[in-house]
Structure 1
Amino acid sequence: MKYSDNALNILTAKTFNGIGDAWINKNLSKTKTSPLELIVELLAKSVKKETVSEEIFLQRKSNIEKQILLLGDSCDGVVAIGDEKFPTHRGAVKESEQPNVLFYKGDLGLLSLENTNVAVIGVLTPDEDTEMDERKIVSLLVQQDAVIVSGLAQGCDFIAHDQTLKFGGATVAILPSPLNNIMPVKHREFAQQIFETGGLLITEYYDAPSTKMELSSRYIRRDRLQALFSDIVILSASYTPNSVDPTALKIDSGSRHAMEKSLEYSIPRAVIYHEKYQRNPKYDLNRQVMKDAKVIVIDPTNPMPMITQILNLDKSPSSNQESDDGQMGLF
Structure 2
Amino acid sequence: MLKTELILTLLNINRIGKKTINKLILNPLPETIDAISILNFIIENLPNYKLNLNIQDVIMAKNKSLNIINYCKKNNIRIMTILDEDFPIKLKIIPNNPVIIFYKGNKSCIIENKSVAIIGTRYPTLESEKITRNLAKLFSNRNYIIVSGLAHGIDYNAHFSTVKNHNKTLAVLPSGISNIYPADHKLLCDEILYNNGCIISEYFPLEAPYKNYFVERDRLQSALSLGVIVVECGVKSGTMYTVNFAEEQNKIICCYKHDKMNYSCRGGNTKLLKDKNVLIIDNNYNINVVENLFENKLHEINTWIHDLTSSNEQILFDF
TM-score by length of 1: 0.82
Is 2:150 the counterpart of 1:167? no
Assess if the C-alpha contact under 8 Å between 2:13 and 2:61 holds in 1.
Answer: no
Match of 2:227 in 1: 232
- Please tell me the residue identity of whatever aligns with 2:187: E
Q: How far apart are the structure 2 equivalents of 1:103 and 1:308? A: 30
- Deviations 1:207-242 (Å, cap 9, x if unpaired)? 5557xxx7001111111110111110111111112x
Tell me the SS of whatever aligns to 2:13.
coil
Match of 1:290 in 2: 273
Identity %: 25
Q: How far apart are the structure 2 equivalents of 1:329 and 1:231? A: 21
Match of 1:199 in 2: 197
**Shift in Å, 1:314:** 2.2
Unpaired segments of 5 or more residues in structure 2? Answer: none
**Shift in Å, 1:48:** 1.7
- 148-157 or 41-50: bigger deviation: 41-50
From the superposition, tell whether residues 196 and 29 of structure 1 become closer, same or farther in structure 2 (CA, over 3 Å).
farther
- 282-291 or 161-170: bigger deviation: 282-291
Assess if the C-alpha contact under 8 Å between 2:234 and 2:264 holds in 1.
Answer: yes
Match of 1:258 in 2: 242
Q: Which residues in structure 2 correspond to 1:183-198 (within 5 Å)?
A: 183-198=181-196
What is the CA RMSD across the aligned residues, in angstroms? 2.7
Assess if the C-alpha contact under 8 Å between 1:28 and 1:34 holds in 2.
Answer: no
Q: How far apart are the structure 2 equivalents of 1:221 and 1:228? A: 11
**Shift in Å, 1:21:** 1.1
Match of 2:67 in 1: 66
- 7-16 or 43-52: bigger deviation: 43-52
From the superposition, tell whether residues 238 and 305 of structure 1 become closer, same or farther in structure 2 (CA, over 3 Å).
same
- Please tell me the residue identity of whatever aligns with 2:266: Y
**Shift in Å, 1:99:** 1.0
Unpaired segments of 5 or more residues in structure 1? Answer: 242-252
Which is richer in helix? 2
Match of 1:250 in 2: none
Is 2:109 the counterpart of 1:110? yes
Match of 1:308 in 2: 291
Q: 1:222 aligns with which of 202, 217, 220?
A: 217
**Shift in Å, 1:42:** 4.0
Q: How far apart are the structure 1 equivalents of 2:26 and 2:84? A: 10
Tell me the SS of whatever aligns to 1:118.
strand
Q: How far apart are the structure 2 equivalents of 1:34 and 1:285? A: 49
**Shift in Å, 1:34:** 5.5
- 77-86 or 65-74: bigger deviation: 65-74
Structure with the bigger RCO (C-alpha within 8 Å, sep 6+) is 1
**Shift in Å, 1:171:** 0.3
Is 2:251 the counterpart of 1:267? yes
From the superposition, tell whether residues 17 and 179 of structure 1 become closer, same or farther in structure 2 (CA, over 3 Å).
closer
Q: How far apart are the structure 1 equivalents of 2:285 and 2:242? A: 25
**Shift in Å, 1:69:** 2.7
From the superposition, tell whether residues 266 and 311 of structure 1 become closer, same or farther in structure 2 (CA, over 3 Å).
closer
Give aligned pairs, total. Answer: 303
TM-score by length of 2: 0.85
Q: How far apart are the structure 1 equivalents of 2:178 and 2:59? A: 25
Assess if the C-alpha contact under 8 Å between 2:72 and 2:78 holds in 1.
Answer: no
Match of 2:20 in 1: 23
**Shift in Å, 1:81:** 1.1
**Shift in Å, 1:157:** 0.3
Q: How far apart are the structure 2 equivalents of 1:297 and 1:91? A: 30
**Shift in Å, 1:74:** 4.0
- Please tell me the residue identity of whatever aligns with 1:232: G
- Deviations 1:153-203 (Å, cap 9, x if unpaired)? 110000000111122210000001112111111001110111121000100
Assess if the C-alpha contact under 8 Å between 1:238 and 1:285 holds in 2.
Answer: yes
Is 2:39 the counterpart of 1:40? yes
Q: How far apart are the structure 1 equivalents of 2:80 and 2:150? A: 21
From the superposition, tell whether residues 139 and 178 of structure 1 become closer, same or farther in structure 2 (CA, over 3 Å).
same
- Please tell me the residue identity of whatever aligns with 2:196: G
Assess if the C-alpha contact under 8 Å between 1:105 and 1:200 holds in 2.
Answer: yes
